[in-house]
A = this chain, B = another copy of it.
Amino acid sequence: MKINVVKNVLQANDIVAAKNRQVFQEAGVLAVNLISSPGSGKTTLLEKTIPALADQGPSIVIVGDLQTTRDAERVADSAFQVTQINTGMSCHLYANQIAESLPGLELAQAYFLFIENVGNLVCPGEFDLGENLKVILLSIPEGDDKVAKYPTVFRAADMVLLTKIDLLGAFSYDLARVENDLRKLNPTAPLVPFSATTGQGMGEWLGWLAEQRKTKVGAQARFIHE
Q: Contact between A146 and B66 (Cβ–Cβ < 8 Å)?
A: no
Q: 8 Å CB contacts to B: which residues of A71-94?
A: 71, 89-91
Q: How far, in angstroms, from A155 to B75 measured CA to CA in the complex?
A: 28
Instruction: Across the interface, name the chain B residue whose C-beta is closest to A139.
Output: B141
Query: How close is A183's CB to chain B, nearest CB, in angstroms?
Result: 16
Chain B residues with Cβ under 8 A from A68's Cβ?
145, 148-149
Q: Is A51 an interface residue, CB under 8 A from the partner? A: no
Copies in the complex: 2
Query: Number of A interface residues, CB 8 Å?
Result: 37
State whether A39 and B141 are in contact (beta carbons under 8 Å apart), knowing that A89-B126, A120-B122, A122-B66 are contacts in the complex: yes
Find A37's partner among B39, B67, B145 (CB 8 Å cutoff): B39
Q: Contact between B167 and A66 (Cβ–Cβ < 8 Å)?
A: no
Chain B residues with Cβ under 8 A from A119's Cβ?
37, 121-122, 146, 149-150
Q: How far, in angstroms, from A219 to B89 measured CA to CA in the complex?
A: 38
State whether A121 and B38 are in contact (beta carbons under 8 Å apart), knowing that A139-B141, A170-B170 are contacts in the complex: yes
Instruction: Across the interface, name the chain B residue whose C-beta is closest to A185.
Output: B67
Query: How close is A45's CB to chain B, nearest CB, in angstroms?
Result: 13
